[in-house]
A and B are shown apart, each in its own frame.
Chain A
Amino acid sequence: MSLMTEITIFVLAVFVGFEVISKVPTTLHTPLMSQTNAIHGIVMLGGLIVVGYADDPLEYVIGTIAIAFGTINVVGGFMVTDRMLGMFSRKPKPKGGADK
């Protein structure tokens, strides 16, 4: 991919990102942050790639830690977001005493 193609993608992604994320209500900003943490875990792809061409012990260690760090973000991020959003989508309990 040429540098200019990558810059094009980057600039368009900036606009898409601002457009989509500015519509997320304040109420959901904490789940948004943990979800973007999870999406940031995509850097584990970089870890997978560099471990592939690692050929000395230091590079093995660096790459493995990078994979582990990225995986923490992905797994922990998506799971904790799911847990939080479960609290928001919970059905309100039937209000027994409300209509007497």
Chain B
Amino acid sequence: MIEAVLKPGGDAATALYIVAFSLFIVGIKQGTHPTTAKRGNLIAAGGMAIAVVTTLLLDGIGNWGLIAIGLGIGTAVGVIASIRVQMTEMPQMVALYNGVGGGAVALIAWSEIRHGISLGEEIPLDTLIPVLFAGVVGSVSFWGSNIAFAKLQDLIPTRPLAVPGQQVINALLLIGIVAACVDIAVNNSDPSQGIFIAVLIAAALLGNLVVLPIGGADMPVVISLLNAFTGLSAAAAGFALDNVALIVAGTLVGSSGTILTLEMATAMNRSVGNILFAGFGGAPAGGAAVSGEERPHVSIGAQDAAIKLAYADSVVIVPGYGLAVAQAQHAIKEVADELEKRGVTVNYAIHPVAGRMPGHMNVLLAEADVPYEQLREMEEINPEMQRTDVAVVVGANDVTNPAAKNDPDSPIAGMPIIEVSEAQQVIVIKRSLSPGFAGIDNDLFYEPNTSMLFADAKQAAADIAAEIQQL
């Protein structure tokens, strides 16, 4: 039997927790550059190992059989999932991790309440209030994340699913949750477990109802926001358990999720509130909807595209989520390789919401062996567009629409875009002229320097690569 060596809340345990969270911060700091990020991740993992071992050595830790079962199941699932997951599925995986993280917090909160009740003493409010917060936010995150996962995995329709009177129901649920929490806090000498369970269930409903009406294109924001929620719930659990490692780690996660949420919302030029409560499709009902008639455009084949590209000095590839759907990353990389062999400079312009989660497109291209130096952020590449000979848009639409800049009445007016129309020539690889998520026509397709290549992205890229080889 292992002897308990550390006193909970004692100096030794706290010191070790401080070491652990310092390593988290160092680890994230190293994550600011691709060459050091891998080491940073290991440093953070080392911090976690210290935190876990410290806790296992605390006095009062027991039921070792259950601990072994929990650790065993968790490790097995974690290892298998992390090896098997495809990079295109990373948004689903992060959604699931947000979910189980929130779920863990909600369960811990429930256990704390039961423990408090069984002691039969008054539960101090500085424990009880964080427990209630952790339970509510944890439950919302768990259920919201499961819905986000189901949408990303196409288990349920990705289009916004709205229930009539939804805002009212959500508001009533929220009021009910707050009222029940106040009741528990006021009766903190003998809180009702039944009411607490009702709070968890109401929070679960709220999590479902908030995420269900959100469309697939808004998923980057939702995932980031749920990430922030789980972080806050962990910090709250830290307040309840007087555990400094949980407070700091949870706060770091909360900050990260918050920054990413705001960044994603800015990249779509929408407020977080608008995304959460308006559901896409409701917004652009104005005059800029797709007009029925066909506007004149230039259509070319793979051979013409290959010639344009091969005799260019600089090419910028603008990938969108359509590229990932068509699994065209590797084919596009082949085109880039062929071009580089001929001395053409190739860069990739990545819009912040190009994938289904923050930074998703970068990972997909890194997987296809694109060097990270060629992955350029929107602000960085836009000034270079004028000096670019050919911009190739693959599977992207709204994020290249010049209407965002030129037409103040457009539903996407003000949304930051990749300014491909500034390039000398533009090639758009797309199946048809159909509009993107925003449901509006893309003026880019009809500009005189734009050529449309109507094809599946993967097939088109393979054809272009073959044609370049022939030249």
Interface residues of A (CB under 8 A from B): 1, 3, 6, 9-10, 13-14, 16-18, 20-55, 58-60, 62-90, 92-93, 95, 97-98
B242 touches A38 (CB 8 A): no
Are B249 and A40 in touch, CB under 8 angstroms?
Answer: yes
Given A21-B256, A26-B358, A40-B253, A34 and B32 contact (CB-CB distance below 8 Å): no
Is B352 engaged at the interface, CB distance under 8 Å to the other chain? yes
A81 smallest CB distance to B (angstroms): 5
Identify A71's interface contact among B73, B115, B243, CB under 8 A. Answer: B73
A3-B369 in contact (CB<8A): no
| Interchain CB contact (< 8 A) of A26 among B115, B118, B352 | B352
B257 touching A36, Cβ below 8 Å: yes
Q: B69 on the interface (CB 8 Å rule)?
A: yes
Give, as a whole number of angstroms, the nearest-CB distance from A15 to chain B: 9
Establish whether residues A60 and B34, one from each chain, have CB atoms under 8 Å apart when the complex forms.
no
Residue pair A83, B82 in contact (C-beta under 8 Å): yes
Contacting pair B243 A46 (CB below 8 A): yes
Task: Report the bound CA distance from A89 to B367 in whole Å.
Answer: 11
Q: A1-B9, A48-B61, A66-B104 are in contact. Are A38 and B48 (CB under 8 A)?
A: yes
Measured in the bound complex, the distance between the Cα atoms of B233 and A41 in whole Å is: 12
Inter-subunit contact A77/B360 (CB<8 Å): no
- Does B423 interact with chain A (Cβ within 8 Å)? no
Would you call the interface of chain B mostly helix, strand, loop, or mixed? Answer: helix
User: Do most interface residues of chain A lie in helix, strand or loop, or is the interface mixed?
Assistant: helix
Query: B114: nearest residue on chain A (CB-CB)?
Result: A59
> Given the interface contacts A73-B101, A74-B74, does A30 sit within 8 Å of B223 by beta carbon?
no
Residues of chain A with a CB closer than 8 A to B237's CB: 43, 46
Are A67 and B341 in touch, CB under 8 angstroms? no
In the complex, residue of chain B having the shortest beta-carbon distance to the beta carbon of A87: B366
Bitwise interface map of B from 96 to 123 toward A, beta carbon under 8 Å scored 1, else 0: 0110110111011011101100100000
A82 and chain B: residue at smallest CB distance: B41
Instruction: With A32-B28, A39-B253, A70-B74 given, name 19 new contacts (CB 8 A).
Output: A13-B255, A16-B252, A18-B255, A23-B32, A27-B372, A27-B375, A32-B359, A46-B241, A49-B60, A54-B66, A63-B108, A66-B103, A69-B100, A74-B74, A80-B82, A80-B90, A81-B41, A85-B38, A90-B369
Are B366's CB and A36's CB within 8 A? no
Residues of chain B touching chain A, judged by Cβ–Cβ distance below 8 Å, are 8-9, 24-25, 27-29, 31-35, 37-38, 41-42, 44-45, 48, 51-52, 55-56, 58, 60-63, 66-67, 69-71, 73-75, 77-79, 81-83, 85, 87, 90, 93-94, 97-98, 100-101, 103-105, 107-108, 110-112, 114-115, 118, 126, 223-224, 227, 230-231, 234-235, 237-239, 241-260, 263, 340-341, 343, 350, 352, 355, 357-360, 362-363, 366-367, 369, 371-372, 375, 377
CA distance A52 to B73 in the complex (A): 18
Expressed in whole angstroms, the minimum distance between the Cβ of A17 and any Cβ of chain B is 3
Contact for A79 among B8, B62, B78, CB less than 8 A: B78
Listed by A's residue number, 17 A-B pairs whose Cβ atoms lie within 8 Å are A10-B251, A13-B255, A20-B252, A21-B259, A28-B359, A30-B94, A32-B28, A33-B223, A44-B104, A46-B105, A48-B67, A49-B58, A51-B63, A67-B104, A68-B71, A70-B100, A88-B34
| List of B residues within 8 angstroms of A87 by Cβ | 87, 363, 366-367
Asked if A24 meets B371 with Cβ closer than 8 Å, knowing A51-B67, A69-B101, A71-B71, the reply is no
A45 & B55 in contact (Cβ 8 Å cutoff):
yes
CB distance from A41 to the nearest CB of B (A): 7
Of A20, A65, A92, which is within 8 A of B107 by CB? A65
Q: With A37-B94, A79-B79, A83-B82 as given contacts, are A20 and B25 in contact (CB-CB < 8 Å)?
A: yes
B471 to chain A, nearest CB (A): 14
Question: Does the CB pair B81–A76 fall under 8 Å?
Answer: yes
Please determine whether B78 and A24 come into contact, CB atoms closer than 8 angstroms: no
The answer to whether A25 touches B363, judged by C-beta atoms less than 8 angstroms apart, is no
In the complex formed, the residue of B with least CB distance to A63 is B111
**Which residues on B sit within 8 Å (CB–CB) of A18?**
255, 258-259
CB closest chain-B residue, reference A96: B341
Of B37, B44, B254, which contacts A89 at CB under 8 A? B37
Pick the most buried of B235, B366, B369: most chain A CB atoms within 10 A of its CB: B366
